[in-house]
Amino acid sequence: MRAAVATLCVTAALVAAGPTGPADAAAAPAGPRIEVEIPGPEHGGDAGSGHARVPAAGSPAKASGRLSPAERSADGQVTKMIDNGSSADRLDVVVIGDGYTAAELARFHTDAEQKWAEVTAVEPYTTYRNLFNVWTVDAVSHDSGVSGDPDPATVRDTALGSYFWCENIERLLCVDQPKVDTYVAKAPAADLVIVLANSAKYGGAGYNEPSATLGYEGISTASAGHPKSGQVAIHETGHSLGKLADEYFYPGVPDYEKYTGPEPGESNSSVLPADRMAAQRAKWYRWLGEESPDGGTVGGYEGGNYFVTGLYRPTDNSLMRVLGKPFNLPGVESMIAGFYQHARIVTPLTPTDRTLRLRHKAKAAVPKLAGADGRQLVVRWYLDGRELRRFEGRTEVSVAELWLFDLRTHRLTVTAEDRTPSVRDPKVVRTLRSSVDWDVRL
């Protein structure tokens, strides 16, 4: 469904792209092309302005690989910038810099910290920041800065081949994806990839096709030195992690005046106006009438998913439409659902592959939530499925405290549960729980 809409969008992207650089079609490399989202214009407010199919392998100006032995030894270094535990139970974000020379790698690390701070300033990232690990992978570039900055004639030799003016759109910041993948592969795990260009020029791109080989949900490119670039990257994670639709649309573009297709698959786009949504108990009906963090109340606002009429969005101006805004309530719910596709909220610290005896303790780690309301995960313990209420909230229990009185092997279980008011869909609520079991006996 998304692919069908996306193909149509190429036309809109061309119309909506605004000023373009000199035509350079003859120089475009052959090979596979992939779809990317184009960020909205710097002063336009819109989060995006359509899609383009771009060369997967980036611009014809390739990295030469000219690195000294010292540069080569610095290249590919992996650092766990934010460590919240085992990759098996966390969302792993991989940040790679492009256009940083060996001497500039320290600044890349500062830039990566700064960009992650921008992401985690936005809910629900703020509340759930401890569910994430962030890895940096050092990519040493021969030149400082990236191609296309400040103008299309500027070509630089960089590790990932980043370039502005991709497809002649100034703010579209493309990369050589196979090259990015060689660096992503150096990190122990990757659910999401951010490529930071060493540049202060406004721009970015969303590569939102999941990687078949490396498992990540998408790549966002962003310039390190432009504050709006971080907002573009967060918007892109709305697609890659939250599976959200764009809430912007194309007034004045003939093919996008009226939508007449089937109900879209995304949780924040519907053919149903609010009254019919409520009657049919569909899509975001549980949120209708609630005050949303992006302003106004949740309803059925006509326009969205690129079409001016025939499709509705939950609020007027969420982050899926306008840069610098928060997600709306249905968007927050979908982001949390996406987080829990990758995160588990209880991790055994005591191994689970052997029977625990009287002298042993069962220990587990449960992440702290960091929301303004102070709400925490609910931790409960069970013996053979019966709750041991006296242990609620604890993260370790010794076998001696269980008062076992027979010689059978019993099953001790700890569960962590997220009772967030930001999720109302029972199908999602069921995923906000993790548990660990141990065999225990006298």
What are the residues binding Zn ion (CB under 5 A)?
37, 48, 246
CB of 203 to Zn ion, least distance (A): 15
Q: Which is nearer to Zn ion, 209 or 246 (CB)?
A: 246
Give me the helix-helix angle, 227-240 and 105-119, nearest 10°.
60
Quote the CA–CA distance of 114 and 181 in Å, as a whole number. 23
Quote the CA–CA distance of 100 and 137 in Å, as a whole number. 12
Q: Which is nearer to Zn ion, 8 or 383 (CB)?
A: 8
Quote the CA–CA distance of 205 and 211 in Å, as a whole number. 16
Q: Which is nearer to Zn ion, 4 or 30 (CB)?
A: 4
- Amino acid at site 48: G
Q: Which is nearer to Zn ion, 317 or 420 (CB)?
A: 317
CB of 252 to Zn ion, least distance (A): 19
CB of 47 to Zn ion, least distance (A): 6
Q: Which is nearer to Zn ion, 145 or 238 (CB)?
A: 238
CB 54 within 8 A of CB 37: no
Q: Nearest 5 degrees, angle CA 275-CA 280-CA 284?
A: 75
CB of 272 to Zn ion, least distance (A): 22
CB of 176 to Zn ion, least distance (A): 22
Q: Which is nearer to Zn ion, 48 or 304 (CB)?
A: 48
The residue nearest Zn ion at its CB is: 48
CB of 237 to Zn ion, least distance (A): 10
Q: Which is nearer to Zn ion, 131 or 319 (CB)?
A: 319
Identify the three-state secondary structure at position 390: helix
Phi, psi values for residue 378, rounded to 5°: -95, 125
Per DSSP, which regions of 231-324 are E strands?
301-304, 307-313
CB of 330 to Zn ion, least distance (A): 15
Per DSSP, which regions of 132-214 are E strands?
132-137, 192-197, 204-207
SS (H, E, C) 117-152: HHHCCCCCCCCCHHHEEEEEECCCCCCCCCECCCCC
Q: For the chain, what is the radius of gyration of the CA atoms?
A: 24
